[in-house]
Chains A and B, each alone.
Chain A
Amino acid sequence: MIWIVKNLWLIPVLPLVASGIIAVNKQPQRKLAAGLAIGSMVGAFLLSLCAFATTLGHGGGEGHEAFREVFGFNWLQFGGADNWLQLGWVLDPLTAIMLVMVTFVGTLIFIFSIGYMAHDQNFMRFFCFLALFASGMLGVVIANNLLLLFISWEIVGLTSYLLIGFWYHKPSAAAAAKKAFITTRIGDLGLLIGMVWLYAETGTLNFYDHGKGCLEHSALTAMLAHATIGGMLVTTAIGLLIFLGAVGKSGQLPLHVWLPDAMEGPTPVSALIHAATMVAAGVFLVARVYPLMAAGALTGEHGAPVTTALTVVTWVGALTAFFAASIAVAQNDIKRILAYSTVSQLGYMMLGLGVGGVAVGMFHLITHAFFKALLFLGSASVIHGCHEEQDIRKMGGIKKYMPITFAVYAIGMLALAGFPLVFSGFWSKDEILHAAHGWSVSQVPFYLGCAGALFTAFYMTRQVALVFFGSYRGHQEESAQGHAAPSAHAPAKSADHSAHGSSHGHDPHESPAVMTVPLMILAGFAIILGFVGTPAWPWFDGYLTGEETTFSLGRLWEPATRNLMIASAVIVFTGLGLGWFLYGKRQRQTAGERDVLEVAQPFVFKVLQNKYYIDEIYEATFIRLNALTAIFCDFADKWIFGGLVKLVSGLTVTLAWLYKFTDEFFVNQGFDAGCGSLRAGGGFLSKLHAGRVQTYLRIIGVALVVLILFLIWGQKA
């Protein structure tokens, strides 16, 4: 067995150890904390590169099978002698590429955090959680076992909760943390049920186990043999339950509500967890159990399998992509725009998985991780530079103050919008749309995707135009406050915002090198990553499937590909142009001014700004239902069950009183009386014992006389 496969566990364990060491150290050792966390991530990154190189070396060469090595060990015994729960890890291209992505992006974001969190009191705690997160995420990635994946998955969920609520003294952050935790928990319940069901069906939770794993041919065939409720295949049911976990984690409809709120956390956290890696875990999970989802497929036109489970994935993804992109159009908080954009892009990934298979979805996941991390870190730099201001209406003209940030942000924005040919987002999104176009079931997801792409280009242009162009509006805040109040969607302000209030007079400033250098590296990858998956050279696709790939520019000019590329370019340019026309050409003058769209379509804008009132609907239905149930339960507890308990206790107490009473007044008294009379009797009898012999004799004499008299009378009678 190859060394790296055997020791793959080192990759998640390194950050775990770092996190532990940081946790047990005394508070103010900033250098130690940052050094340990970053050092462990760099170590994990180097190991990941080793793993990646291993998969590269073996891929393609051996027929049409991708490289795959597994390592497992027995963990927990239960039931019979051979009933072992196994844990283990797998090294295949999917794992390797995720490992490299997570450790690389993670390292850069860790470095960036040194600058961003420099003034924070709880610097050590921050790095402790970050390292723990990285450990959990890497655990998810390497797991060859649904159980190990689930454990890591929950660690990731926990750290997400901890980091969203990092500034727990802000009520909004605490609430957002709870919301994230509970919402994802709904999905995790599905995952858990799916996992148990899968174990019941196949008797193993290992993904790959030399032919015995649950994703391999024999287990899938066995599961396909029987149907469950309503004629649904068992694989479909389990696949959908597992997908529910992915929906929760990846913020798909209808469990997306937590992700925008998660922006209450520090921005590097938003970048690492809620944009680049953790939210992608759901997509990764679907990619991982793809064989299960695709089992029993009728092969579609273009070779992509079509099953009920994948159809659901497709529809959820397409609807999310469109829906979230439309919300992002009307948001004013720089991070919330990016958050909805993340939701939307995750929808694209799901769409890609549903219509095109693992490679399509994963390619977008990887490219998105880079440019979204870039965008989030860029926004962090902007927020940092603008003194913790997050409302894009109060920014403007920052290009002048922060040139580096502007440059990298523009690259990220163009990559996200899918600017043709040069940027990675174009190639990955194009591949998804291409696959959606060829989907045999319906064309609607394709059109939803196109509309989402249009919105994406539009809202990113709007954001960049408002933030970087025009003139700085931060100084006008005091005077504009009055106008802003009615329409302002109050942006989340950090608690130390008020502390910065006095410094509002200052101009924005460029961030230090520790923050800009990671940005530049990410920007570089946001461009070049696209070229590993272009139609001309689909290396990424081949890497994941193990097929030989060739370089041929000619494929770009095949009619279907070319037409779609042109169509998507037109869409992107329309979005960009529209955005520039509405927001760039004529800049808003004051922060309080109404939005152009708001003037044109007040109703639609309001609905979008309020996120289709989804939160309110949940508030009115599920949360109220929950509250009512809680109130009912409380009532039942207090009065029904509590009443019963009280009744029983009251009865017992009364009985006890009764017992005490009888004891004291009847039993005791009677006993006492008995004793008294006995004593009196004894006393009386003891008086008879005068102790004088003569008295006894006298008595005998009297008795004798009495006896004689008795005898004489007896004779007479």
Chain B
Amino acid sequence: MTPLQGCLLVSALLFAIGFAGAVSRRHAILALVGIELMLNAANLNFIAFWRYGAHPELLTGVMFVIFSIAVAAAEAAVGLALVIAIYRHYKTSNLDEVKDLQG
């Protein structure tokens, strides 16, 4: 197994764990945590493909990941703000009870 395959395997596991968490957790914050995990799995893929790719000297992978982490930080802030707003409105943070979009 090459280092790249190891990295991809780890990132796939990480994504799967994050997806499972985002999909199955009832609590809004835990779902948000799951989303962060999936995001980081993607970041890990960026790094891995850069490090073991054709041009490791160009630092493109690192640039992408730094951007991505910055965006993820902002996204986490927005996400947490939304969770608080939802809690204030519905007096709960259980996502099963927040279903106003139901048809």
Contact = CB atoms under 8 A, between A and B. Distances in A.
B37 interface: no
B22 A692 contact: no
Contacts of B22: 694, 697
Contact of A691 (B24, B31, B99): B99
Interface string A672-700: 00000000000001111111111001100
B23 A697 contact: yes
Contacts of A698: 23
A701 interface: yes
A690 B99 contact: yes
Q: Which of A687, A691, A694, A698 has the most CB of B within 10 A?
A: A694
Contacts of A686: 103
B101 interface: yes
B41 to A, nearest CB: 14
A534 to B, nearest CB: 125
Contacts of B24: 694
B95 A692 contact: yes
A689 B101 contact: yes
Given A685-B103, A686-B103, A687-B103, A692 B23 contact: no
A686 B101 CA distance: 10
Contact of B95 (A688, A689, A694): A694
Interface string A700-717: 010000000000000000
A693 B96 CA distance: 9
If over half of A's interface residues share one DSSP class (helix, strand or loop), that class is named, otherwise mixed; here it is helix
Nearest to B25: A694
Interface residues of A, number: 13
Contacts of A685: 103
A690 B102 contact: yes
A691 B19 contact: no
Nearest to B16: A701
B100 interface: yes
Given A692-B95, A693-B95, A694-B95, A701 B23 contact: yes
Contact of B100 (A688, A691, A694, A701): A691
A21 B19 CA distance: 114
B19 to A, nearest CB: 6
A526 to B, nearest CB: 117
Nearest to A682: B103
A692 B103 contact: no
B15 to A, nearest CB: 10
B92 to A, nearest CB: 14
A694 B20 CA distance: 10
Nearest to A697: B23
A701 B19 CA distance: 8
Interface in B57-90: none
A157 to B, nearest CB: 90
A691 B103 CA distance: 7
A697 to B, nearest CB: 5
B31 A692 contact: no
Contacts of B101: 689, 691, 693
Nearest to B95: A694
Contacts of B31: 694
Nearest to B22: A697
A682 B9 CA distance: 43
Nearest to B19: A701
Nearest to B100: A691
B23 A694 contact: yes
A510 B88 CA distance: 129
Interface string A382-400: 0000000000000000000
A627 B59 CA distance: 124
B103 A689 contact: yes
A698 B98 CA distance: 16
Q: Which of B22, B23, B101 has the most CB of A within 10 A?
A: B23
A696 to B, nearest CB: 9
A558 B46 CA distance: 163
Interface in A76-124: none
Contacts of A697: 22-23
Contacts of B19: 701
A697 B38 CA distance: 13
A692 B24 CA distance: 11
Contact of B102 (A691, A694, A701): A691
Contact of B99 (A687, A688, A692): A692
A697 B100 CA distance: 16
Nearest to A687: B103
A701 B20 CA distance: 10
Contacts of A688: 103
A99 to B, nearest CB: 105
Contacts of A690: 99, 102
Interface string A187-215: 00000000000000000000000000000
A94 B102 CA distance: 111
B40 to A, nearest CB: 17
Given A694-B31, A694-B95, A689 B102 contact: yes
A690 B103 CA distance: 6
Interface in A641-693: 685-693
Nearest to B24: A694
A697 B35 CA distance: 11
A414 to B, nearest CB: 122
Contacts of A691: 98-103
Contacts of B23: 694, 697-698, 701
A174 B19 CA distance: 114
A223 to B, nearest CB: 99
A686 B99 CA distance: 13
Interface string B14-55: 000001001110000001000000000000000000000000
A-B complex: 4 closest residue pairs judged by Cβ atoms = A691-B102, A689-B103, A691-B99, A686-B103
17 contacts: A685-B103, A686-B103, A689-B101, A689-B103, A691-B98, A691-B99, A691-B100, A692-B98, A692-B99, A693-B95, A693-B101, A694-B22, A694-B23, A694-B31, A694-B95, A697-B23, A698-B23
Given A689-B103, A691-B102, A694-B31, 15 more contacts: A685-B103, A687-B103, A690-B102, A691-B98, A691-B100, A691-B101, A692-B95, A692-B99, A692-B102, A693-B98, A694-B22, A694-B23, A694-B24, A694-B95, A701-B19
